[in-house]
Structure 1
Amino acid sequence: MPVFDDAAKRKIHYQTRRGLLELDIVLKRFMTKEFDNLSDDELSIFVDILELPDQEFLALVNQKEEAKDSRFLPILEKIRRA
């Protein structure tokens, strides 16, 4: 399991800037409300989610598609709640 120091967290924060306005808005709220409370395990999963293409990521957040990886579900729920 990776350990996320401040530099790694800043990099993740930068990666939340996406090409879709809708996704940017949702992620900005999530980053403000939840990001600092994520464990290293959750951060690792969040990094995997950030690797998805924008359209697929947004479809998962909007529940138009189901996540193929069940590890994503708790993080996606936190994103939706934010």
Structure 2
Amino acid sequence: MAQFNETDKRRIRFQTRRGLLELDIVLKRFMAKEYDQLSDEELAIFVDILALEDQEFLAIINQYQTPQRADFEPILHKIRTA
């Protein structure tokens, strides 16, 4: 399992700046409320989620599309409820 230091966490935080305003708004709330409490395992999954294209990510957040990986769901739930 990957271990994330403060530099890694700052890099991930920067990656949350997206091309879609809707994603920026949702991710800003998530980052303020939940990000600092994520475990290294959750951070690794979050990094994989951030690798999604903006349109796919937004469709999954809005539950118009189902993620291909089941392990995304707990983090997606935290993002949706933040």
What is the aligned partner in structure 2 of residue 6 from structure 1?
Answer: 6
* Rounded Cα–Cα distance in structure 2 between residues aligned with 1:79 and 1:13: 14
Report deviation, 1:14.
Answer: 0.1
What's the TM-score once normalised by structure 2's chain length? 0.99
What is the aligned partner in structure 2 of residue 65 from structure 1?
Answer: 65
| Gapped regions of structure 2 (runs ≥ 5) | none
Once the two structures are superposed, the pairs formed by residues 17-36 of structure 1 within 5 Å of their partners are: 17-36=17-36
SS at match of 1:63: coil
What's the TM-score once normalised by structure 1's chain length? 0.99
Q: What stretches of structure 1 move > 6 A for 4+ residues in a row?
A: none
Structure 2 residue identity aligned to 1:67: P
Query: How many residues end up aligned between the 2 structures?
Result: 82
SS at match of 2:78: helix
Structure 2 residue identity aligned to 1:26: V
Structure 1 residue identity aligned to 2:60: L
Structure 1 residue identity aligned to 2:68: K
Report deviation, 1:35.
Answer: 0.1
The CA RMSD measured in Å over matched residues stands at 0.3
What is the aligned partner in structure 2 of residue 42 from structure 1?
Answer: 42
